[in-house]
């Protein structure tokens, strides 16, 4: 048996919860912050007013970001994690190449400074609705506007 609990969420037992604790439930939507590096960068941009490059540098200095942070800031890591979660939650493997992803590397301080009443997530979140047809895709969102993170939202 190959165990992969640490591949998604690290210390959060989401894999076990999906496999065992929520097995009898009909899951319709998955949403969450699943990339710690991007979460740190966006939090620094929001809380300290840093631009992206400075926040990334701070993340690298503290050891949160790798020397080549491409997988994290381009959404590749979150997309990989989302395909694992989707397969477990919905019982249908999702193709990574069909997963829409949007990185955070082009975000500016002005993007982050959006009023909190209209923009919530200051971190990299991933969401996916239950598959309704084979062409159903996932969405890695850079922003989650109130009311926009619902199963009917389009990527």
Domains of the chain (ranges plus CATH)? 5-141 (3.30.360.10)
50: phi > 0 → left, psi -120 to 50 → alpha, else beta; which? beta
H or E stretch including 141? strand 139-141
What is the distance between the alpha carbons of residues 140 and 96, in angstroms, rounded to a whole number?
12
Model confidence pLDDT, tens digit, residues 105-140: 998 888 887 654 333 333 344 555 655 433 334 444
pTM over 0.95: no
Give the three-class secondary structure for 62: coil
* Catalytic residue numbers, as ranges: 81
């Amino acid at each position: 048996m190959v165990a992969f609990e640490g591949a998604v969420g690290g210390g959060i037992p989401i894999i076990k919860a999906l496999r065992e604790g929520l097995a009898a439930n009909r899951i319709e939507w998955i949403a969450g912050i699943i990339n710690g590096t991007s979460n740190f960068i966006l939090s620094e941009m929001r809380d300290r007013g840093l631009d992206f490059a400075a926040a990334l540098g701070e993340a690298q200095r503290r050891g949160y970001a790798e020397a080549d942070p491409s997988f994290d800031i381009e959404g590749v890591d979150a997309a990989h994690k989302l395909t694992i979660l989707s397969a477990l939650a919905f019982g249908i493997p999702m193709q990574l190449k069909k997963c829409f992803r949007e990185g955070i590397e082009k975000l500016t301080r002005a993007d982050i400074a959006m009023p909190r009443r209209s923009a919530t997530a200051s971190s990299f979140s991933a969401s996916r609705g239950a598959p309704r047809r084979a062409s159903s895709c996932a969405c890695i969102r850079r922003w989650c506007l109130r009311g926009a993170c619902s199963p009917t939202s389009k990527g």
